[in-house]
Amino acid sequence: MSQHQPETKKVTTLRLAAMKAQREPITMLTAYDYTMARLLDAAGIDILLVGDSAANVMAGHTTTLPITLDQMIYHGSCVVRGARRAFVVVDMPFGSYQISEETALSSAVRIMKETGADAVKLEGGAHLFSTIQRLVASGIPVVGHLGLTPQSVHQLGGYGLQAKEGEAADRLYQQALGLEQSGCCALVLEKVPAEVATRVAEALRIPVIGIGAGSGVDGQVLVSQDMLGMEDSFSPKFLRRFAQLGDLIKGAVGDYITAVKERSFPSESESY
Please give the positions annotated as active site.
190
Binding mask 35-64 for ligand KIV (x = CB under 6 A): --------------x-xxx-----------
| Residue 187 makes contact with ligand KIV by CB under 6 A | no
Q: Which of 221, 227, 228, 230 binds ligand KIV (CB under 6 A)?
A: 221
Q: Which residue is nearest to ligand KIV (CB)?
A: 51
The interface with ligand KIV within residues 226-245 (CB under 6 A) comprises none
* Distance in Å, CB of 59 to ligand KIV, minimum: 13
For ligand KIV, the closer CB: 234 or 256: 234
* Distance in Å, CB of 133 to ligand KIV, minimum: 22
Q: Which of 16, 143, 172, 223 binds ligand KIV (CB under 6 A)?
A: 223
For ligand KIV, the closer CB: 236 or 266: 236
| Residue 80 makes contact with ligand KIV by CB under 6 A | no
| Residue 78 makes contact with ligand KIV by CB under 6 A | no
| Residue 220 makes contact with ligand KIV by CB under 6 A | no
Query: Residue by residue, what is the 3-state secondary structure of 34-57?
Result: HHHHHHHHHHCCCEEEECCCHHHH
* Distance in Å, CB of 47 to ligand KIV, minimum: 10
Report which of 61, 56, 31 is spatially closest to residue 43, judged by C-alpha positions. Answer: 31
Give the distance from CA 155 to its chain's centroid. 22
| Residue 149 makes contact with ligand KIV by CB under 6 A | no
| Residue 31 makes contact with ligand KIV by CB under 6 A | no
For ligand KIV, the closer CB: 196 or 268: 196
For ligand KIV, the closer CB: 141 or 268: 141
* Distance in Å, CB of 247 to ligand KIV, minimum: 23
Q: Which of 91, 118, 218, 231 binds ligand KIV (CB under 6 A)?
A: 91
State how far the alpha carbon of 79 is from the alpha carbons of 51, 115, 166, 248, in Å. Answer: 11, 8, 39, 24
| Residue 217 makes contact with ligand KIV by CB under 6 A | no
Q: Is 98 exposed, middle or buried (0-12, 13-18, 19+ CB in 10 A)?
A: middle
Residues of the shown chain interacting with ligand KIV in the complex, contacts defined by CB under 6 A: 30, 49, 51-53, 91, 188, 190, 211, 221, 223
